[in-house]
Structure 1
Amino acid sequence: IIAHLAEDHPDVFQHKLHGSDQLFHAGLGFVRRFLHNQLNWSFRQATKAAQKVPIDYKEQCYALALRCAWLIWTTWIPSACVVNSNQMQLQLQFGGFTYAERGAKQVSVIGKEEKRACTVMTGLSMSGVLLPFQSVWQGVQDVCMPYSNRPINSIMEEALAAGHLFSLSQGTYWLTHPTMHAYVNNILAPYF
């Protein structure tokens, strides 16, 4: 919602709220009211448990932070040269839950049994530079990727111009050795 408002009506963020000096912002409350009142949607609670974290995760994170700080300090590594990269799954179909009209008894979901996802590889330098993303899609042909990996849409054209990388992987949508090479060669190395 915020992205659409910023793109189509950026002036809305300069309007003051009724009887206040505060400027309008599309906060969580606004979004909830908009979905509820304008679209007649309600959010359904997920039923699947999240991934478990180790019991001593705080201690492990603290020890890692100390090791990194010591290494950076003793070897004089510039902050721009420390990049944290992470891959995360992006699900395009959230199983059996979707937005629907409140009170609906039958809610249809296309591809309920199908699992469609990609992996997004992100990178952020310690100096605050957000690197372009890489998304990995399972398949062997470009038609498996958004817009067939061609800039035929302004969104895709903008993403490619910003340096975002769209990659294919035959057996899985997770990063593999070849897709990791593509990330390093096309995103990480040019940053340095």
Structure 2
Amino acid sequence: MDRRKLLTSAVLGGAAGLVGATALGSLSPEDVFAAEGANAKINPGDPDPNFVEGRITGITDTVLFVTSSDGSLHSIRVTNGTSIWKLNPTTFDEVKVGDGLYARGLRLADGTLAADSLWVNIVNLNAHVDSIGRGSLNLDHHGQRVVAHVENGRSAAVYNNTPAVSDMSMLEAGKHVKVIGAWHPDTNEITISTVYAAV
């Protein structure tokens, strides 16, 4: 399975996935999404040795044990210099077993990935708005229901490629949106970072 495709077996029952983390050192999920495929040194179709996607199956000290969507096992070492995003920039103690992640860093001689950046539970959904509730959007993502929560002071909307605003009032039921946010593991729920819509 292509590491940049959706983690279909792990996220929202196959309905969504994690965005490929390719911008070394970038923390913004929007920048990560925009930079997908930007690493020109990797031939198309070849695995990137400095990139891991998957789900965290264990944590010991500062090492994450991750099972990728293709079943391969990885060890990821988190250092004081590792940037971590989980809807917001965060710290290592917020990373939990069961979280999905993308990691970029440098491969050490023992095969461990020393992480420069971790993006935890990041999702990128193209969906239709079924309905708008108080503090949430009910989305249809390829026939799957997704509840997208709005977090005051954090969630933003981008209308027609204008600068992001906190006002979600121009979103309409029945319209197409793209949502970048954070998945709530083992649920059909996410928290919105940014929702993109045409009005």
For normalisation by structure 1, the TM-score amounts to 0.23
Instruction: Please tell me whether Structure 1 or Structure 2 has the larger radius of gyration of its CA atoms.
Output: 1
Higher percent of residues as strand: 2
Higher percent of residues as helix: 1
For normalisation by structure 2, the TM-score amounts to 0.23
Greater RCO (CA < 8 Å, at least 6 residues apart): 2
